[in-house]
Amino acid sequence: MYVATLLTNPTTPSLEVPMVDALRNAWGGGEVTWLNPGEAAEFTLPEMPDNRWDVWADLQEMGVDLVVQPSEGRRKKMLLADMDSTMIQQECIDELADEAGVGERVKDITARAMNGELDFEGALIERVGLLKGLDEAVIDHVLNTRITFMPGGRALVATMRTAGGYAALVSGGFTAFTARVAAQLGFDENRANTLLTENGQLTGDVQRPILGRQAKVESLERITATLGLSEGDVIAVGDGANDLGMLGRAGTGVALHAKPSVAASCDVRINHGDLTALLYIQGYSKADFSV
């Protein structure tokens, strides 16, 4: 048995009953359950539709995300999340680079690295090198003035933890950012890279080993082993090429507002919804959300 979930951007809910009913009828689905009127609905299916991706593409033009997945085991026991452009709306290194006067150069490298065009480790070393001499106090300034949370993140973490789940933030960014973000959103743990400082300034280097794509996979392996969970018990979310390893290994890997090459590698793609989409695709209704 499968389940189809349709959802939209919560700030402009546009999911209409006739459209949902028409798709349910065309696919021979079960009764529609509205997880939140106008925003998210689901129905069961006896088999995976052959035209799933054609329908997905049509719905994308209407501002609607479609996820079709096996119904068994879709409610997960662990959240494994990327930070930059996933749990927060920015790339922390780009914001630091703006303060250092090298913003455009670093943003270009970041975009290419996240799309898989550059080696992540090499790209990180190059970008951090451009921050050499930046006052360490700028980190707090950026955190206080430039960093905003991705909508739905607090509800996602709180709801999964209320249901007994575990939440881990694993980032190719920096511990100075993940520590604050994890604490404010309620994550159980966080892992990231450490910017090296000397005499109150960034040295232009990062502590080794560098946490990149493989380290995120290793975090998945380590945490599930520690908790006695299977990788199938995990829902992982990210947007960049360095997230593909963990997205491919997790029971449900979600490409959230992801780079094209990343989205193309994932069966679950959220382009219009926010982080609450990860709750809807697990079968939570809006009434189930913890805030």
Could you tell me the CATH number of the domain that includes residue 138?
Answer: 3.40.50.1000
Same-domain pairing of 121 and 197 = yes
Which CATH number covers residue 43? 3.30.70
Task: Give residue 17's domain range.
Answer: 1-72
- Do 257 and 186 reside in the same domain of the chain? yes
pLDDT score at 158: 98
Domain boundary at 72, 88, 113, which? 72
Same-domain status, 189 and 279: yes
Output the pLDDT for position 120: 86
At 260 the pLDDT is 86
End-of-domain residue from the set 51, 72, 93: 72
Q: Is 204 found in the same domain as 62? A: no
Both 203 and 228 in one domain: the answer is: yes
List the Cα angle 12/18/24 in 5-degree steps.
110
pLDDT of residue 194: 96
**Number of domains forming the structure of the chain:** 2
Mark whether 126 and 267 lie in a shared domain. Answer: yes
**pTM of structure:** 0.95
State whether 28 and 95 are in the same domain: no
Same domain, 146 and 289: yes
The pLDDT assigned to 291 comes to 78
Same domain as 173, residue 46: no
Crossing angle, helix 175-185 and helix 138-145, to 10 degrees?
40
In this structure, are 227 and 199 located in the same domain?
yes
Domain stops at, among 72, 92, 112: 72
Catalytic residues, which ones? 82, 84
pLDDT at 30 (0 to 100): 98
What are the pLDDT tens digits along the chain (291 aa)? 999 999 999 999 999 999 999 999 999 999 999 999 999 999 999 999 999 999 999 999 999 999 999 999 999 999 999 999 999 999 999 999 999 899 899 999 988 888 888 888 899 999 999 999 999 999 999 999 999 999 999 999 999 999 999 999 999 999 999 999 999 999 999 999 999 999 999 999 999 998 888 999 999 999 999 999 999 999 999 999 899 999 999 999 999 999 888 999 999 999 999 999 999 999 999 999 997
In this prediction, residue 113 carries a pLDDT of 83
C-beta of residue 246 within 8 angstroms of C-beta of residue 260: no
The predicted structure's pLDDT at residue 257:
97
Residues 52, 84: one domain? no
Whether residue 160 is found in the same domain as residue 291: yes
What per-residue confidence (pLDDT) applies to 118?
82
